[in-house]
Amino acid sequence: MKEKQHEGLLEEKRLFFPPEGFCSKAVIQNPEIHELGQNRTKFWDEQGKRLDWFKPWDTVLEWNHPFAKWYVGGKLNAAYNCLDRHLEGARRNKAALIFEGELGDRRVLTYQDLYREVAQFANVLKSYGVVKGDRVTIYMPLIPETVIAMLACARIGAVHCVVFGGFSAEALKDRIHDSRSTIVVTADGSYRRGNSIPLKANVDKALPVTCINNCVETIIVVKRTGQPVDMQDERDVWYHEVMKNVSSVCPAEPMDANDMLFILYTSGTTGKPKGVVHSVGGYMVGVSTTHEWVFDLKEEDVYWCTADVGWITGHSYLVYGPLTNGSTVVMYEGAPDYPEKDRYWEIIEKYRVTILYTAPTAIRTFMKWGESYPRGRDLSSLRLLGSVGEPINPEAWMWYYKYIGGERCPIVDTWWQTETGMIMMAPVPGITPLKPGSCTIPFPGVHIEIVDPEGNLVPKGEGGYLVVREPWPAMLKTVYGDDKRYEDTYWSQFGGAYSTGDEAKWDEDGYFWVIGRVDDVINVSGHRIGTAEVEGALVDHPSVAEAACVGKTHEVKGQAVFAFVSLKEGIVIRDELIDELKAHVVLKIGSLARPDDIFLTAELPKTRSGKIMRRLLKDIADGREMGDTSTLADVAVINFLKKNIDAQK
């Protein structure tokens, strides 16, 4: 437990109440809502009614530990809930997506427009043989066609696997392979700070030259940047060509509530990313309820979630939650500092954004750039701010509150995970007083605890492992193709509760303070990276014998990757080697995993049984006093590292 670093947190006693005018108009004003949520099945049974069902469910929950079935017997379609049901009334011509490209191009799609394009693309997918249950990999920039492709899959019951466009060809290959996708939707390239990143070329690299079995038969390419691409006859087609003259009549497939909606890969403690599976019914109820209540959503809101759809935040709170709720969603393709450091504030001013949902790492970056950028823009339309992805330190919280929210906007700090699918802890802003740095309390109908290693509840004022005690509707169904890994990873410790991998404390008021991961996962700028994945990438380099990675505390990114590497016998250290190793990680995983530091060492500190002691390496990376070294096989190794790394600082 990282006691020392975080012991100040519980001393944060400031309380913030939403302005009076906010509470009296809030979606949820009933202070007893959390109590009502304690009757979990009744609560979620009630919330199920917010969706349109082709057939109502018979039983709200069947819980066969650790496998849950929600809304059993119910039939629905996620795309139908996001689109068709809004077409009858005034929402038909409401903006569903307001897209702003990095270069300043703009596109607005109404619910009717989005419906039409989704239905057409669904017919395109069908014409390429995609049927219910098939997997479709989507490797795209943050543009409307990405949302269209996701919803088109959902419409016909295909399972989408979105792979973040920042992942390398190698990482994409593993995900295509694991999901056994036969079709890939991509773009020629994507813009980033004025440069273009080759997406189609990465797909080409990811795919084998000859097809043996289960291989990709079709690649549909959206023209975004106009950069040259190789189009292979028979296999590759342009999106704009295959969409020509396609019918916009495509009935939504009635899906069983427990059918798969999507797979999303995330890092775990082993080298192989896990395909987290979400199913239609419970997921849609969970994201719709939390999106409305946590963001206090009103019909006229202009809601902007800055996440990329390649991550769960994009899935749940840029696509499925907001569109199910009929909101207007702003979507921005590019970087926050392109062309200037006030791009976010310009977008808020331009579209009169009312709700902003972003990450602490972005807020800390803005803090570094200074308040003159937000001050130069009119941010008076904002009425609520959200945070997600990593702990928000009280300083960043206060800066966000003051300079972005003008001291009038409640901040909802939302704790959740790829696996939880929906927000699990957050304020319900009309009724929950806020404490800077705390995600406050569990959402109604969600049962979270902090426990000791045996699974016993720890008293208030103390810390331990964060677990979820009872099933919740948007919980992952399994790890794709690996029920055992699902069971072992999430449900085998802590007396059968769901293990989040996080540690947290709770205070005397029952507020939760999440500290961070306790497993071998590093959270870099809100993105999860497995130490084992980075180590695997390093060891793949011909010069490397062994590698150990830890998360080093970083002012802006939260954590950064610090790698300790030992070289193979006879390898001569060259000046370029460190850069070469970093480039190798980028090649294998993507630039998000690039180590900030690589330290070459003859040996890594190990226990007598040969286990690398990452805990001590983390102490060294953070420049802290080292913890207990008594189980080390050779204490000289760690002393050498400490001395040399301290000397470099």
Q: Which residues are annotated as a binding site for Mg(2+)?
A: 539, 541, 544
Parallel, antiparallel, or unpaired: how do β-strands 260-266 and 302-305 relate? unpaired
Nearer to ligand PRX, 157 or 501 (CB): 501
The reply on whether position 523 binds ligand PRX by CB under 6 A is: yes
**How far is 562 from 595, CA to CA, in rounded Å?**
6
**Taking the complex as a whole, how short is the minimal distance between the CB of residue 501 and ligand PRX, in angstroms?**
6
Among 40, 435, 517, 582, binds ligand PRX (CB under 6 A): 517
CB 242 within 8 A of CB 260: no
**To the nearest 10°, the Cα dihedral for 573, 579, 581, 583?**
-160
**Closer Cβ to ligand PRX, 476 or 548, answer by number:** 476
Residue nearest ligand PRX by beta-carbon distance: 418
| Residues 499 and 453: beta-carbon distance below 8 Å | no
**H/E stretch holding 118:** helix 111-127
Query: Site residues for ligand PRX, window 557-616 (CB under 6 A)?
Result: none
| Closest distance to ligand PRX from the beta carbon of 400 (Å) | 13
**Residue in 134, 259, 502, 507 binding ligand PRX, rule: CB under 6 A:** 502
- Beta-carbon contacts of 94 under 8 Å, excluding residues fewer than 6 positions away, are 86, 110, 111, 326, 328
How far apart (Å, rounded) are the C-alpha atoms in residues 610 and 603? Answer: 12
Burial label for 67, CB within 10 Å (0-12, 13-18, 19+), is middle
Q: Are 616 and 603 in contact (CB under 8 A)?
A: no
Cβ distance to ligand PRX smaller for residue 391 or 605: 391
Q: Which is nearer to ligand PRX, 74 or 268 (CB)?
A: 268
Query: Which of these segments, 56-64, 237-245, 514-522, 640-648, binds ligand PRX (CB under 6 A)?
Result: 514-522
Q: Are strands 478-479 and 274-279 parallel, antiparallel or unpaired?
A: antiparallel
**With binding defined as CB under 6 A, does residue 467 bind ligand PRX?**
no
Binding positions for CoA = 192-195, 313, 525
For residues 400 and 373, is the Cβ–Cβ distance under 8 A? no
Map residues 306-345 to x or -, x wherever contact with ligand PRX holds by CB under 6 A.
------xx--------------------------------
Produce one character per residue of 444-463: b if its CB has 16 or more CB atoms within 10 Å, e if not.
Answer: bbbbbbbbeeebeebeeeeb
274 binds ligand PRX (CB under 6 A): no
Q: For residue 514, state whether it binds ligand PRX (rule: CB under 6 A).
A: yes
The secondary structure of the chain in percent helix, strand, coil, rounded to multiples of 5, reads 30, 25, 40
CB-based contact 295:386 (threshold 8 Å): yes
With CB under 6 A as the contact rule, the residue among 75, 86, 528, 594 that binds ligand PRX is 528
Q: Considering the complex, what minimum distance in angstroms separates the CB of residue 382 from ligand PRX? A: 19
Cα(607)–Cα(519) distance, integer angstroms: 18
Q: How far apart are CA 132 and CA 153, in angstroms?
A: 9
| Shorter beta-carbon distance to ligand PRX: residue 81 or 525 | 525
Cα–Cα distance measured from residue 549 to residue 520, given in angstroms and rounded to the nearest whole number? 9
Closer residue to ligand PRX in complex, CB, 242/514: 514
Q: Which stretch in 27-35, 160-168, 384-392, 591-599 sits in contact with ligand PRX by CB under 6 A? A: 384-392
The CB-of-311 to ligand PRX minimum distance in angstroms stands at: 6
DSSP string, 280-299: HHHHHHHHHHHHHHHTT--T
* Residue 390 engages ligand PRX in binding (rule: CB under 6 A): yes
The region of 110-118, 191-199, 389-397, 541-549 touching ligand PRX under the rule CB under 6 A is 389-397
What residues numbered 401-440 form the site for ligand PRX, per CB under 6 A?
413-418, 439
Q: Strand pairing partners for 550?
A: 562
Name the burial class of residue 112, with classes exposed (0-12), middle (13-18) and buried (19+) by CB atoms within 10 angstroms of its CB: middle
CB of 388 to ligand PRX, least distance (A): 5
Q: Which residue, chain included where needed, has tokens 């404490």?
A: 435
Q: Tell me how long the chain is.
A: 649
Q: Give whichever of 53 and 512 is closer to ligand PRX, judged by the CB atom.
A: 512
Among positions 109, 119, 388, 431, the unique one binding ligand PRX when judged by CB under 6 A:
388
User: Which of residues 81, 137, 190, 266 is near ligand PRX by CB under 6 A?
Assistant: 266
Total of residues contacting ligand PRX (CB under 6 A): 22
- Of 505 and 642, CB closest to ligand PRX: 505
Q: Please state the closest distance from residue 231 (CB atom) to ligand PRX, in A.
A: 34
Smallest distance, ligand PRX to C-beta of residue 594, A = 18
Let me know: does 175 contact 265? Beta carbons within 8 Å: yes
The β-bridge partners of 237 are 220
Which residue from 144, 198, 464, 501 is in contact with ligand PRX, where contact means CB under 6 A?
501
Q: Applying CB under 6 A, does 304 fall inside the site for ligand PRX?
A: no
Which residues are at the interface with ligand PRX (CB under 6 A)?
266, 312-313, 388-391, 413-418, 439, 500-502, 514, 516-517, 523, 528
